[in-house]
Amino acid sequence: MPSRGPISAARAAQLKAANINPRTGLATDYLNHFNEAIMLLEMVPDMPECAEDFLTWSPLSYAEHFVASNFKARDLAIEAYEMADPNIRAEFDKLTSSMTSILSAVGVAMREAQQDKTRATLAEQATGWVKPLVMMTAGVINGASEADVEEIMSH
């Protein structure tokens, strides 16, 4: 397994060309997985039938997302994630796990809800919880420090 030390300029250029942050080893493309769920949830209050579309969303790990995607450098994205600094990856995994837990719980609650109004409320609450987590996760991917994330969240 390659070392986790500084990466070569060629490796950094390769990662950057693939839209993978060379400093963190993470790709923002994974956030599309969560943004898709948010987009569907945002439509529920105006179009209750979109709840059914949201209910087809299912959690995917970072690797699962890239394996299922058309991302050109998916193998590189998975490899870079696996080689990422353990502290950065732990913070990233904690945030994505939180988003997955929220979205999964909302899916369960929506399946049980009988009224469109209840589903709309659930959708609005979920987007309110998940959107800031997406922003925080983007910060981790882009190499923001914890102080930067706290600054973003204070607004």
- Predicted local distance difference test score (pLDDT) of residue 30: 96
Q: How does pLDDT run along the chain (155 residues), one tens digit per residue?
A: 444 456 788 888 889 988 999 999 999 999 999 999 999 999 999 999 999 999 999 999 999 999 999 888 999 999 999 999 999 999 999 999 999 999 999 999 999 998 999 999 999 999 999 999 999 999 999 997 655 555 555 55
pLDDT value for 150: 55
Contact 25, 15 (CB under 8 A): yes
* Separation CA 11–CA 33 (nearest Å): 26
- Is the pTM here over 0.75, yes or no? yes
Domain parsing of the chain, residue ranges: 9-153
Closest of 25, 125, 29 to residue 84, by C-alpha: 25
